[in-house]
Structure 1
């Protein structure tokens, strides 16, 4: 396989080898380009004249000779061996008919054509993978909620119609972007995937299906008038599965511009593709009390895991200082914590339903027309599947655990101590005969008396930051998060116990994690866990 070194590319500091592959049946011109970081990463082999339905970038022409992961390339490998060993396999696999059961040596990976396209940063149109568009439907209209700026175009499709087709789109995502407008657009379906990623070429392909889209139908998004043409086509979605791929041609009236925008898959089903064990959370409701360094990270984990409804209680305002260990940042300073979380969830995980309740549990009523704590808690507890207590207040622990037990609702609490050298997580199942919060307190006192299991705590008192109304513990956010994440795992495992294929239930009820030894030296996390049993010293009214 003799090769020629391209002198022009060599002068520019790039190695490009041009050669020919010959078999008994064909001759294929090829060239290989070596990356700047060779041999740590592989060279690319291009076949400009080869037309294959798979395993070849249809735009750049490079071949998928080995899997994309760097683990498939060794620093001892050579380009000639790569071609000689892999190209015959590639040709066999690429020319195999879809559905052919004969075994072929290829990665179990689909190759969506849109995955080959270079995308500009700063734009996207959200679609739903669940939409089924019959091949006989060649186009129609669509409704979008769009935000257009000089540098980006972002939108979600809320409706698709055409030839008797009527699909409800992503209406729940319409509040994601500020200053967005509802506009109308058009769409067409191509008989085959596009052969170019240039917007003008894509528009020409759309015009062949519907000549009317050649003339822009500008719609006002505020400062900028836009025309949107969606282009649908069949593409691989996963191995042996085809579906609808999308691209969008966007035209601006002023400043005049035509560009292509990628599609982003954002349907409800798209969000569970990567977390199938958590699908059952879509029917679960949680009451979370306390949105501090433990509660706020737990809330975010529950939201992005797909919890159906999250009711949150806290009375505090977001202060600037604590954001060093609070997840939402300075943008929310001055807002109530519950309102900040609701706002954050709405724009980042819009399928989540966060119900904020700004309530100081245990405060006296200073006005006769104020609802009682009991009434508000009864409402917030109604229908929930789990109570998560992140208040770090012993009195509130007893209160919430009793309210949960009265209703047969599982209860989880999590807290850290001064220094954030570690923390505790505990679960009460709230079933007849099971351990209660008093049982837990007895068990925790026994743990504290055991040098091998006790929680390590920074010596000295709490610290009162300048201008802060209350003393607080010191400690790093990443240490606090270790406790919060364990609490989220326990809560989710509890919510999904008994659900087939769901996230597994932890085999413990109480856990102590130490992140430092007793002298404060950082260690790997050391866990002590146990099942909580009714304690023999426990008596009513908190009895089991």
Structure 2
């Protein structure tokens, strides 16, 4: 079995072997150097034609310099198990020009530089039969305190194929939620874990509404914790969900729902944002006034409405349907 670098991860878009060609270019969004973590955004062949595109991450997720370029080659069969040096040797045997690193500097001139090579091949995968698979290796070189480049390190990276089909293959029931649009009003101690569970279940679109900022003292009963203190709750949740559950589209509105001081234009905008196209409204505000308002509006818009809140001390809770 392969023994990749601990903590490393390279997400790679699922691809069709027939469309590949012999070799080409990768564009990879860099997330961290050590451990090495990245997402392959697109795969093109030698003619520059797109042969695979990530549906888990987009270019917009990464500042321009953090999108690096790598190289890939297609192998006639699955290679034997080995370390990074073994795979680089195999690559050079097939294409001698790969011996010369194509250095990339996504972290600037004084940051580490990288040379990435991916091996694409046909494989028998227990969870989906015969399909394309990938092995990714990197040469890296860091800058020392003396301003000189250190030793070149060869690293075997953990790579996994990512696609919507692959994500939900293990839980087919999630497919029924892909078209769902849930508006979640209130993202506190009940709403924040509900948001994570909805995204984890595969809800297609999740809309978040809340006008509160997270306080540090409240993080013991909130989904993310202290790292989100000081941020609007909806913004902290939006970032966490978008990073961890890429197949749920997350939208957020930092606004108080049911605010009597809100002008009519903003109120109409908020109503449309909550109800238009929604398949379900979840109310976790724990406010009787907001409960009544949303229940009445849900009846007008013919949208199912569920309210929920914890009892004092959070020993239990109540859930209702209107």
Partner of 2:11: helix, strand, or coil? strand
Q: Is the 8 A contact 1:176 1:346 kept in 2?
A: no
Please say if 1:210 is aligned against 2:106.
no
Q: Larger relative CO (CA 8 A, sep 6+): 1 or 2? A: 2
Q: Is the 8 A contact 2:3 2:156 kept in 1?
A: no
- Give runs of aligned pairs for residues 98-109 of structure 1, distance below 5 A: none
Please say if 1:220 is aligned against 2:105.
yes
Q: Is the 8 A contact 1:128 1:270 kept in 2?
A: no
Can you list the C-alpha shifts for 1:124-172, whole angstroms capped at 9, x where unaligned?
Answer: 211123x1122872211121112452x3222211111225652242165
Q: Is the 8 A contact 1:127 1:157 kept in 2?
A: yes
- Against the structure 1 CA distance between its residues 124 and 421, is the aligned structure 2 distance closer, same or farther, given a 3 Å change threshold? closer
Please say if 1:414 is aligned against 2:308.
yes
Please say if 1:365 is aligned against 2:261.
yes
2:166 corresponds to which residue?
270
Please say if 1:336 is aligned against 2:232.
yes
Can you list the C-alpha shifts for 1:66-104, whole angstroms capped at 9, x where unaligned?
Answer: xxxxxxxxxxxxxxxxxxxxxxxxxxxxxxxxxxxxxxx
- Against the structure 1 CA distance between its residues 403 and 346, is the aligned structure 2 distance closer, same or farther, given a 3 Å change threshold? same
Partner of 2:92: helix, strand, or coil? helix
Correspondence for 1:139 among 23, 27, 39: 23
- Structure 1: 5+ residue stretches without partners: 1-115, 429-544
1:248 corresponds to which residue?
136
**TM-score, length basis structure 2:** 0.88
1:167 corresponds to which residue?
51
Please say if 1:156 is aligned against 2:39.
yes
- Against the structure 1 CA distance between its residues 276 and 292, is the aligned structure 2 distance closer, same or farther, given a 3 Å change threshold? same
State the 4+ residue runs in structure 1 displaced beyond 3 angstroms: 174-180
Give distance in 1, aligned partners of 2:72 and 2:174.
34
1:309 corresponds to which residue?
205
2:83 corresponds to which residue?
198
Give distance in 1, aligned partners of 2:18 and 2:224.
43
2:13 corresponds to which residue?
128
Deviation of 1:265 (Å) = 2.5
Deviation of 1:213 (Å) = 1.1
Give distance in 1, aligned partners of 2:2 and 2:293.
57
Give distance in 1, aligned partners of 2:276 and 2:12.
35
Deviation of 1:313 (Å) = 1.1
Q: Is the 8 A contact 1:291 1:337 kept in 2?
A: yes
1:490 corresponds to which residue?
none
Q: Is the 8 A contact 2:185 2:285 kept in 1?
A: yes
Please say if 1:392 is aligned against 2:286.
yes
Give distance in 1, aligned partners of 2:217 and 2:32.
35
- Structure 2: 5+ residue stretches without partners: 143-149
- Against the structure 1 CA distance between its residues 319 and 135, is the aligned structure 2 distance closer, same or farther, given a 3 Å change threshold? closer
- Give runs of aligned pairs for residues 492-503 of structure 1, distance below 5 A: none
Q: Is the 8 A contact 1:218 1:253 kept in 2?
A: no
Structure with the higher strand share, 1 or 2: 2
1:517 corresponds to which residue?
none
1:21 corresponds to which residue?
none
Give distance in 2, aligned partners of 1:188 and 1:386.
47
2:146 corresponds to which residue?
none
Give distance in 1, aligned partners of 2:273 and 2:69.
41
Give distance in 1, aligned partners of 2:273 and 2:164.
28
1:9 corresponds to which residue?
none
Number of equivalenced pairs: 309
Please say if 1:423 is aligned against 2:317.
yes
Give distance in 2, aligned partners of 1:358 and 1:233.
47
- Against the structure 1 CA distance between its residues 137 and 381, is the aligned structure 2 distance closer, same or farther, given a 3 Å change threshold? same
**TM-score, length basis structure 1:** 0.54
Partner of 1:278: helix, strand, or coil? helix
- Against the structure 1 CA distance between its residues 305 and 239, is the aligned structure 2 distance closer, same or farther, given a 3 Å change threshold? closer
Partner of 2:200: helix, strand, or coil? helix
Give distance in 2, aligned partners of 1:193 and 1:205.
12
